[in-house]
Amino acid sequence: MRILVVCLGNICRSPTAEAVLRKLGPEDLEVDSAGTGAWHVGNPPDPRMQDAAAKRGYDLAPLRARQVRREDFHRFDLILAMDRENLADLARMAPDDGSGAGLHLYLEGGNPDEMPDPYFTGGFDGVIDLVERGAARWLKSP
């Protein structure tokens, strides 16, 4: 299974989900993260997110932000967006031939079903709670 997790800048939500899925998932799980925007490409995750994640045992320090690429739609089985805006952006970027990864909300079917962005509002611990909840769901899926 190959999963790509996507948020806007790839410095808070999606790198956290990448680290959580990698730690909790099976050894053969391939997971990566990316952003729909390019503002932070090459940068490490937000220090506030790194601190909150480290307190829970997740190491975000080695990760670097990147932007979603067209080839990602063929490389991954699932592309999980943190919110509806990013999901819509991904749908616009997807190949026209209908091939490639399945697009879903990371918290699909949950309440809430969108992941809040802590970059401006804080709430990093709450985001980790939601990331762990979503990870448990996707790791149970066949």
Which CATH code is given to the segment(s) 2-140?
3.40.50.2300
pLDDT at res. 142: 53
100 band by pLDDT with thresholds 50, 70 and 90? confident
Q: Is 117 a catalytic residue?
A: yes
Catalytic residue among 12, 13, 22, 83: 13
Q: Is 64 a catalytic residue?
A: no
pLDDT at res. 96: 82
Q: Is 22 a catalytic residue?
A: no
Q: What is the end-to-end Cα distance of the chain in Å, rounded?
A: 9
Please give the average per-residue pLDDT across 24-45, as a whole number. 97
DSSP-based three-state secondary structure for 136: helix
Catalytic residue among 32, 46, 89, 117: 117
- The Cα 16–Cα 132 span in angstroms is 9
Contact criterion met (CB below 8 Å) for 5 and 78: no
Please give the average per-residue pLDDT across 16-26, as a whole number. 97
73 band by pLDDT with thresholds 50, 70 and 90? very high
